[in-house]
Structures are given as structure tokens and as C-alpha cells.
């Protein structure tokens, strides 16, 4: 198989084109603040298709959070699980990390959301066996990073542990439980978007009503400005409030599809005294108001103790007591 062949469909050139654009480039190193993702690349990888409607290319804003996360990765031994609220761009960070690796001309494996496994190297882009990471009978170079998006299967294949693994996922230990025993792997919490970042990305003032609903989650900020998106968002919040139960609040980070990720946002906490390395808070002004209006506080001793225990990982309890 020709090493320059990426994938056998009408989007054959999407990945080699990205390789040609970034291999040996110094743009990001020299301070470029954007990466252009072609729609073909987005379609072929199944990544961030919901970011921008239509057929235009996607302009990826290089957040300081991406730079900080990449710097963190350069300091750890065996890679890291990159955690954070759903919809803040953890999958986009994977593409930023890929571009940085290609700039440095370092071999890198990309596992897309569809499970397609690609090896980017000096020779070009090759399709690898998703079950082994091999191209034909050859293993990927041992100094490869594996940039592994959250696939439909959810859990990385065992072969990736032989490499430096970067695995972005919404907090939920069942999504990375097979990696928990890899004690040399780090955990990095990516912060959501600040209002200033949204203004810079969209090139205009903050849409305050949308932000008051969505909070610092860019996917929902965009959603709340599009057609019926705001109405759908309100419905999601209402459903989450109906499903929320106080006895589950002390297990907020255990399920990526749980109510907590609809109602709350997670941030990195660098305080060495916080063993969880993160904090939770209400995701938005709207959600906080609806939560306090509709959620009856527990009257029993156990329930109140559970909410009080949230002080260790969030400011939510301070809003309630």
C-alpha cells in the first residue's frame, strides 16, 4: 500500500493535505492563532461537524487552554487523559496537538471518532490496522504520540498503551477506567471558554442572552443562537432537572451522559490541596436560576450532608447554604 494513501473514499486527500500543510511548518510555534480545517477533513474524521453549518471550512481558534494542555503533555511520561465539560473543544485540541507534532516533524498516530487509525510520518499518511496500530507488518515508531479521540466504541484498544496516549473525554471514569491503572498517565482538566475568548473567536460582542443560557460551553453557545436551538436547550435543562436526584450529587463525575454535565460545568483546580484537581459550578445564570427555583433542598440529614460535601469540589454548596 502506498504510504501516501490515507483513506479509500472520495475524501482521499483530506489527511495528506493536512500533513502537507503542517509538516515542518512553524506557524503555531511562531504564534499563529488559528488552524483551518477543511470540510473534507471534518467529514472524513467525523469531528466537529456541528461547529459550523454549511460547506465552509472550519476556523479553529487556538485557545491558550490548548497551549497550556500541550505544554502539560510535554512534561508527562506516558501521556494523559484530557478531561473537561462536554462541548468545549477537547476533540479540537486533538487537531491542534496533531498540527504541533507535525510542525516538529514527529511521527503521530491519529485515531478519529470513527475509529479510523492514521499514522502521520515523514513519508506521509498511512492507514493503520485499528486493532494493532500497524501499517502492514510494521509497527508505528516507538516515539509516536497517539492522539485518540473519543470513538463510538468509547474505550481505547489495548495497543495504544505502548505509546504516549492523549485521550480526551468528558469526566466519567467508565470512559477511561482501563487507563486508571496506568499510574504514569496524567489527568488534565481543560477549562471552558471565557467570555473574552468567545468575543475573539466570533469577532464581535458577546451575545449576552445566549451566554446567560449556555454558559461557557461553545457548542451550546452556538446552539442557543440557531433557530430552535435555544428552545431545545431549555428542554434539555428541564429534563435534567426532572431527572436530578440529590443522592447522586456526590457522584457528579461518574457518568459522561449524566445530569450533572447538563447542569454544571467543570474547571481545572491547580490547588495542591484539592485531590480531585477540579471544581464544579452551575454552568450558567439561567441554569442556576432554574435549579434553585425547581429543586427542593433535601430535608433529611443524609441528603444535606451530601450537598455539604460538595464544598470539597465546587462552589455549588455555597449557593445553597
User: How many CB atoms are located within 10 Å of the residue 87 CB?
Assistant: 23
According to the model, what pLDDT value does residue 8 have?
A: 43
To 5 degrees, how large is the angle CA 89–CA 171–CA 231?
Answer: 60
pLDDT tens digit string along 289-309? 998 887 665 555 555 555 545
Residues 6+ apart with CB under 8 A from 93: 65, 66, 69, 82, 168, 190
Q: Is the model's pLDDT at 176 over the cut of 70?
A: no
C-alpha to C-alpha distance for 282 and 259, rounded to whole angstroms = 12
| Digit-coded pLDDT (tens) for 55-106 | 678 888 999 999 999 999 999 988 999 999 989 999 899 999 999 999 999 9
Confidence check: pLDDT of 145 > 90: yes
pLDDT-based confidence at 27, cuts 50/70/90?
very high
pLDDT of residue 314: 55
For 183-228, the pLDDT digits (tens) are 578 889 999 999 999 999 999 999 999 999 999 999 999 999 987 8
Q: Are 42 and 16 in contact (CB under 8 A)?
A: no
Average pLDDT for 277-300: 81
Report pLDDT digits (tens) over 224-275: 998 789 999 999 998 888 776 655 554 544 443 457 788 889 999 888 777 6
Q: Which sign, positive or negative, has the C-alpha torsion 277, 280, 281, 287?
A: positive
- Angle at CA 72, nearest 5°, toward 68 and 78? 150
Instruction: Give the pLDDT of residue 199.
Output: 95
| Helices (H) then strands (E): counts for the chain | 13, 11
- Report the predicted TM-score, pTM, of the whole model to 2 decimal places: 0.85
Asked which of 11-25, 168-182, 256-270, 281-295 is least confident by mean pLDDT, the reply is 168-182
Q: In this structure, what is the dihedral angle of CA atoms 118, 57, 206, 315, given to the nearest 10 degrees?
A: -10
Q: What is the pLDDT of residue 5?
A: 40
Q: Are strands 124-128 and 145-148 parallel, antiparallel or unpaired?
A: unpaired
Provide the pLDDT for residue 262.
87
User: How far from 213 is each of 151, 208, 262, 287, 290, CA to CA, in Å?
Assistant: 29, 9, 12, 7, 11
47 DSSP assignment: -
DSSP letters of 134-192?
Answer: -BTTBPPPTT-EEEE---SS-S--GGGGGSEEEEEE-S-HHHHGGGTT-TT-EEEEPP-
Secondary structure E strands in 249-303: 264-268, 278-282
Query: Alpha-carbon distance 242 to 155, whole Å?
Result: 30
What proportion of the chain, given as a percentage, has pLDDT over 90?
44
Q: What is the pLDDT of residue 42?
A: 82
* Range ranked top by mean pLDDT from 39-43, 160-164, 188-192, 246-250: 188-192
155 pLDDT higher than 80: no
Higher pLDDT, 253 or 1: 253
Look at residue 280 in the predicted model and tell me its pLDDT.
Answer: 86
Amino acid at each position: 500500500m502506498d504510504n501516501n494513501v490515507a483513506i479509500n473514499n472520495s475524501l482521499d486527500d483530506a489527511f495528506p493535505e493536512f500533513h502537507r500543510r503542517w509538516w515542518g511548518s512553524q506557524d503555531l510555534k511562531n504564534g499563529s492563532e488559528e488552524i483551518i480545517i477543511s470540510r473534507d477533513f471534518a467529514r472524513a474524521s467525523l469531528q466537529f461537524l456541528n461547529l459550523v453549518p454549511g460547506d465552509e471550512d472550519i476556523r479553529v481558534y487556538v485557545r491558550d487552554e490548548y497551549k497550556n494542555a500541550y505544554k502539560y503533555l510535554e512534561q508527562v511520561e506516558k501521556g494523559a487523559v484530557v478531561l473537561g465539560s462536554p462541548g468545549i473543544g477537547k476533540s479540537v485540541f486533538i487537531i491542534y496537538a496533531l498540527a504541533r507534532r507535525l510542525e516538529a516533524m514527529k511521527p503521530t498516530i491519529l485515531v478519529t471518532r470513527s475509529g479510523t487509525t492514521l499514522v502521520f510520518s515523514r513519508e506521509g499518511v498511512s492507514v493503520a490496522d485499528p486493532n494493532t496500530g500497524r501499517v502492514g507488518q510494521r509497527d508505528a515508531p516507538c516515539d509516536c504520540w497517539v492522539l485518540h479521540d473519543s470513538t463510538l466504541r468509547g474505550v481505547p484498544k489495548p495497543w495504544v498503551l505502548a505509546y504516549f496516549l492523549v485521550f480526551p473525554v468528558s469526566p466519567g471514569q467508565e470512559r477511561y477506567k482501563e487507563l486508571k491503572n496506568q499510574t504514569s498517565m496524567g489527568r488534565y482538566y481543560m477549562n471552558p471558554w471565557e467570555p473574552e475568548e468567545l468575543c475573539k473567536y466570533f469577532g464581535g460582542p458577546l451575545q449576552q442572552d445566549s451566554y446567560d443560557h449556555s454558559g461557557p460551553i461553545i457548542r451550546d453557545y452556538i446552539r442557543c443562537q440557531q433557530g430552535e436551538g435555544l428552545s431545545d436547550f431549555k428542554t434539555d435543562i428541564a429534563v435534567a432537572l426532572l431527572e436530578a436526584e440529590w443522592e447522586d450529587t456526590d457522584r457528579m463525575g461518574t457518568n459522561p451522559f449524566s445530569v450533572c454535565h447538563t447542569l454544571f460545568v467543570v474547571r481545572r483546580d491547580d490547588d495542591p490541596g484539592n485531590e480531585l484537581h477540579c471544581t464544579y459550578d452551575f454552568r450558567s445564570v439561567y441554569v442556576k436560576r432554574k435549579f434553585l427555583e425547581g429543586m427542593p433542598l433535601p430535608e433529611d440529614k443524609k441528603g444535606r450532608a451530601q450537598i455539604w460535601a460538595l464544598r470539597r469540589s465546587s462552589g455549588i454548596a455555597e449557593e445553597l447554604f
